[in-house]
């Protein structure tokens, strides 16, 4: 892997997915990647980016979402300000950053290209077939689970099977991953997520991103507390689906073919 690819992967590795399946970056993480030592100086770049957003007649709140997070200083904890940034916001930040920094120059190119790709893709999503949407949502859940695992590991989780089953139990009224697989009639060790429709995948994506957000926001520590949090979030997502008059995930139909089968047929391309 060359140097450019390595730096591009850095931007992808700090990307998050929200409850609606939309991507975002945290300003504090982007600050480190763009090699800004002081938040004060980086916040100045953010302000310039926000002004550029205004000058383009765009609503700032749609791209720069102010948030707070709790950090451990080693002696105590404190609340610090942060932002959830859209891809476009990251592009504006890169454009207003110190282009003498090699990584900032790379960010300018990366976010410019990817912002355009995202705009084009969002327009095309509604035209996708059900299986194409499944591939797209499956990719988001894969990335979401990876990010969730990193957060859970920091919280003290070691038994990830138990951790993920806690979330499934909350969302599926007590069912574990094995229970879901048996109900769907899957073979041993066959991936349950590859055998879900786009709506069921979206339900699980909601559970995944909300669990990660709560682990971070509430600074959850310990395996037991993390498992309880995952269960409670899963259960809350289930209650929300019910309140909205939606279909419970366990009653949604299982597709006739898994995504792996569709991949083998080469009729569909997994959307990256």
Q: Other C-beta atoms within 10 Å of 166: how many?
A: 24
Most confident of the ranges 19-23, 76-80, 116-120 = 76-80
Burial 17-48 (b: 16+ CB within 10 A, else e): bbeebebbbbbbbbbebbebeeeeebeebbee
Residue 70: pLDDT band by 50, 70, 90 thresholds?
confident
- pLDDT surpasses 80 at 8: no
The pLDDT value recorded for residue 3 is 46
**Range with the lowest mean pLDDT among 1-10, 106-115, 224-233?**
1-10
The pLDDT value recorded for residue 22 is 80
The mean pLDDT of the chain is 87
- pLDDT surpasses 50 at 251: yes
The pLDDT value recorded for residue 6 is 47
- CA angle, residues 16, 53, 32, in degrees to nearest 5: 40
Secondary structure (3-state) at 7: helix
Tokens of 118: 């995202």
Burial 201-214 (b: 16+ CB within 10 A, else e): bbbbbbbbbbbbbb
Tens digits of per-residue pLDDT, 202-244? 999 989 988 988 898 889 999 999 999 999 999 999 998 998 8
The pLDDT value recorded for residue 269 is 47
Q: Other C-beta atoms within 10 Å of 254: how many?
A: 16
- pLDDT surpasses 90 at 107: no
């Amino acid at each position: 892997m060359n140097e450019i690819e390595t730096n591009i992967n850095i931007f992808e590795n700090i990307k998050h997915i929200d409850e609606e399946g939309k991507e975002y970056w945290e300003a504090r993480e982007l600050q480190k990647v763009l090699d800004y030592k002081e938040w004060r100086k980086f916040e100045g770049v953010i302000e310039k980016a926000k002004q550029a957003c205004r000058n383009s007649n765009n609503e700032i709140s749609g791209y720069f979402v102010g948030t707070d997070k709790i950090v451990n200083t080693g002696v105590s904890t404190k609340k610090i300000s942060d932002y959830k940034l859209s891809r476009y916001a990251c592009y504006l930040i890169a454009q207003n950053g110190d282009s003498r920094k090699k990584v900032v120059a790379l960010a300018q190119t990366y976010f410019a290209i990817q912002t355009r790709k995202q705009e084009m893709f969002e327009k095309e999503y509604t035209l996708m077939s059900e299986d194409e949407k499944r591939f797209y949502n499956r990719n988001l859940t894969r990335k979401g689970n990876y990010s969730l695992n990193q957060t859970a590991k920091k919280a003290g989780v070691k038994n990830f099977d138990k951790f993920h089953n806690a979330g499934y139990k909350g969302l599926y009224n007590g069912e574990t991953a094995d229970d879901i697989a048996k109900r769907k009639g899957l073979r041993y060790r066959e991936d349950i997520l590859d055998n879900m429709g786009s709506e069921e995948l979206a339900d699980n994506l909601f559970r995944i991103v909300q669990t990660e957000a709560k682990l971070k926001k509430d600074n959850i520590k310990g395996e037991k507390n993390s498992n309880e949090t995952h269960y409670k979030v899963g259960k809350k997502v289930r209650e929300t689906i019910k309140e909205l008059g939606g279909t419970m995930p366990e009653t949604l139909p299982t597709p006739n073919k898994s995504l792996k089968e569709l991949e083998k047929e080469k009729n569909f391309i997994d959307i990256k």
